[in-house]
Structure 1
Amino acid sequence: MKKNINLIISLLCITVFVHNLFYAVPLISQNLYGVQAVYAKADDTLPLISDGSSVDYMSYIPEMKCSRQVEKALSVRNPEISVDAKAALLIDAKTGKVLYHKNALEPIFPASTAKILTALVVLDWCKTSEVVKIGNEVNLIPYDSSRAGLRAGDKLKVYNLLEAMLLPSGNDAAYALAVHVGRKELKDNKADAMSAIREFTRLMNDKARDLGAENSCFISPDGYDAIGQYSTAYDMGRIGLQALKSKTITKIVKERTTTIKMANGRTLPLWNTNALINKDSVWYESHVIGLKTGTTSLAGRCLISAAQTDKGLVLSVIMNSSSQGRWNDSLRLLKYGRKVMSTNK
């Protein structure tokens, strides 16, 4: 009996090892064998970052610009609020007025908060009712990515893929959406996944510039750390403000849980990673409506959130905070923002 148990345990360990190795192959091949990265800024030689301690990633980041408009926006007297985050921003979403800022123009890594921009680009190009067939692009994501659980061959509506990307922060969903839109832009339904993803990231950067995010470069549709990818708290605030104008995005990010039912009968349960909207969490805040979490080794713990006030919405951007800090930082800023907006006539 004991031998049988040991045999079962050994087989399970081997299965887990093979599964993880399968997903790790794209990342390993990029780092060890010089294979070109999935993403490309210009010359197809900028890889994903699996270990930030071994890469001089700051050398790829240019000096941040500060236009007169941005300088004026940030020329406000900060309240005495302390946050753990390396960079932070608080904005009156109705007027666009900055209420608080900390290192708002310093380069940061967006992590999965970049998926807000991905969602905006997708909605520019797709109807939410469009059906997307999932391909092998979902196997390109690094082994340590967050996943929604998509499989090649699945068929989902764009709306459901947005749920899969924004709630559990599925990198697999981000890739599937990027390939779908990239092929649309290329006018080639058979374009290879890497070419489609590169085209999609070009659209991301075009969109970011249109929104006034001038100090950003997006290389991955899921926000996974990559050499040459960066943003700022101010830029992510611009992107967040645009997301608040989308009924589709704001509807999705309010959801705590949902279940996607696919045509083949398979179901996919999804849970929101945002503790501020989880009623069972100690950080729950009833006025919060989203938006998106983000976590990577370089980005730290991030959260772009918004809360309702009697005068409109207030948007908080927390970048590179601690595990508990991103929740406490966000609640601290949102509480102040709600107070300011309620007292303003």
Structure 2
Amino acid sequence: MIIRPLVRSLCAGAMVLAASIGFIAPGVASPPSDQHRAPRAPALPEGLSALSWVVADATTGDVLASRAPHMHLPPASTLKTLFALTVLPKLPAEKLHTVSPADLAGLGAGSSQVGVQEGRAYRVADLWRGVFLRSGGDAVHVLAAMNGGVQKTIADMRQRAEELGADDTRVMSPDGYDTPGQYSSAYDLALFGRAGLADPAFAQYCSTAVASFPGGVDSDGRVGSSFEIQNTNRLLTGTTDVDPYPGLIGIKNGYTTLAGNTLIAAAHRGNRTLIVTVMNPQAGSVYEEARSLLDWGFAADDKVQPVGALRPAGVNPAVLHRAKANTKPTAEAAPLPAQAPPADGTSHSDAHAGLMSPIGMAAVGALLVSLVGSLWLLRRRMRR
């Protein structure tokens, strides 16, 4: 009888700690959504299956609702947004670079590619379109080489994440390729998306639906045949099974075996711009879950109290530059891989996720309080 209160307190404290640090064991449902609703506010969408998601106001940084926002998960190609935030300001758009074999060394097997060829010269702006529209890992590696190499770029990305307050992100590859120990969170991806919208160049690239990618110039000055590339973000371009979302600005989608489908999407309506991040839906489409969250966010305008805020507060993209694509989509976007089967998608590091964050520290405190109370109760009963 004496042991039962102790066990109950330990279990309660452990549940608080597990929910706060974002560790969800395989087969266990995601924690409930965070939302402070006024009586007139719409209910959150039904059927959301993503392990983690965030809805935030791009201008104020207010987080309107979320589920497990700090859960550590593989980000897939959405990590390319941090790559762009890090490298894009350093390289002039018109700079030409001739691709060497070393530039493409280390490109992961099965990586998405835009079609960069060794021995040909490309403008930086064209390489960025290859990154944003076709998620080209080959373009990422060339730009990383221009930045001083992959390892330097990884170090730079870690520093940039730290500057942005992205405490949930650990970079191990510049392109989001599945790499042991690499993770991010829905919260951090929203940070990256918001910071990107404050940069006109980033905003233009991420909102371009269709572009012409050059064949490059060889050593003899001959220009290769160019070809059309279309953005793989289905909410931007639309496909036979996904309608384009009205007012969508774009940003970045991703997919790997470990990450499942991931997405950062931003849309503008009236005088409001929202950012939604969705990580690894366990059923259904990442695009439809993002669509339902955007719809909810616009319907909840001024009807919900924020549950948090994107750091740093100084980032305020009050004026967003939504670039118009050079041409309208003329063909259906290349289909994305099928949804991965349900999986926990976590790394060994996830068990320690958020322990040093304010929420994680609060959870540790709650656990300690539970332990102290249980020990006091045990001692009191023993005295009897």
Q: TM-score, normalised by structure 2?
A: 0.64
Q: Which residue of 2 aligns with 1:274?
A: 233
Matched, 1:222 2:175: yes
Aligned residues: 261
Q: Which residue of 2 aligns with 1:99?
A: 64
Q: Which residue of 2 aligns with 1:26?
A: none
Deviation at 1:81, TM superposition (A): 2.6
Select the structure of larger CA radius of gyration.
Answer: 2
Asked if the contact 2:34/2:65 (under 8 Å) is kept, the reply is no
Change (3 A) 1:280 1:230: closer
Q: Which residue of 2 aligns with 1:173?
A: 139
Q: Which residue of 1 aligns with 2:160?
A: 207
SS of corresponding position for 2:50: coil
State the distance in 1 between where 2:59 and 2:81 align: 19
Unaligned runs of 5+ in 1: 1-62, 66-73, 184-195
Q: Which residue of 1 aligns with 2:382?
A: none
The residue type paired with residue 138 of structure 2 is: D
Deviation at 1:75, TM superposition (A): 6.6
SS of corresponding position for 1:91: strand
State the distance in 1 between where 2:53 and 2:80 align: 18
Q: Which residue of 1 aligns with 2:269?
A: 309
The residue type paired with residue 309 of structure 1 is: R
Q: Which residue of 2 aligns with 1:18?
A: none
Q: Once structures 1 and 2 are overlaid, which stretch shifts more, 219-228 or 282-291?
A: 282-291
Asked if the contact 1:283/1:328 (under 8 Å) is kept, the reply is no
Asked if the contact 1:76/1:98 (under 8 Å) is kept, the reply is no
When the two chains are superposed, the root-mean-square deviation of aligned CA atoms in Å is: 2.1
State the distance in 1 between where 2:256 and 2:288 align: 19
SS of corresponding position for 1:341: coil
Matched, 1:232 2:185: yes
Q: Which residue of 1 aligns with 2:36?
A: 77
Asked if the contact 1:147/1:171 (under 8 Å) is kept, the reply is yes
Q: Which residue of 1 aligns with 2:127?
A: 161
Q: Which residue of 2 aligns with 1:252?
A: 205
Deviation at 1:279, TM superposition (A): 4.1
Asked if the contact 2:57/2:273 (under 8 Å) is kept, the reply is yes
From the two aligned structures, give the one with the greater helix fraction. 1
Deviation at 1:169, TM superposition (A): 0.6
Q: Which residue of 2 aligns with 1:191?
A: none
State the distance in 1 between where 2:261 and 2:107 align: 20
Deviation at 1:283, TM superposition (A): 2.6
Change (3 A) 1:64 1:154: farther
State the distance in 1 between where 2:247 and 2:261 align: 22
Change (3 A) 1:64 1:156: farther
Displaced runs of 4+ in structure 1, greater than 6 A?
A: none
Structure possessing the higher relative contact order (Cα contacts under 8 Å, 6 or more residues apart):
2
Q: Which residue of 2 aligns with 1:241?
A: 194
Deviation at 1:124, TM superposition (A): 2.6
Deviation at 1:87, TM superposition (A): 0.5
Deviation at 1:339, TM superposition (A): 2.1
Deviation at 1:324, TM superposition (A): 4.5
User: Among residues 124, 132, 135, which one is paired with 2:89 in the alignment?
Assistant: 124
State the distance in 1 between where 2:203 and 2:163 align: 21
Unaligned runs of 5+ in 2: 1-19, 23-32, 38-42, 305-384
Matched, 1:135 2:95: no
Q: TM-score, normalised by structure 1?
A: 0.71
State the distance in 2 between where 1:171 and 1:274 align: 16
State the distance in 1 between where 2:68 and 2:303 align: 26
Deviation at 1:109, TM superposition (A): 0.6
SS of corresponding position for 1:99: strand
Q: Which residue of 2 aligns with 1:40?
A: none
Q: Which residue of 2 aligns with 1:327?
A: 287
1:138-166, Cα deviation, whole Å (9 max, x unpaired): 25312211110111112111111110011
The residue type paired with residue 156 of structure 2 is: L
Asked if the contact 1:133/1:153 (under 8 Å) is kept, the reply is yes
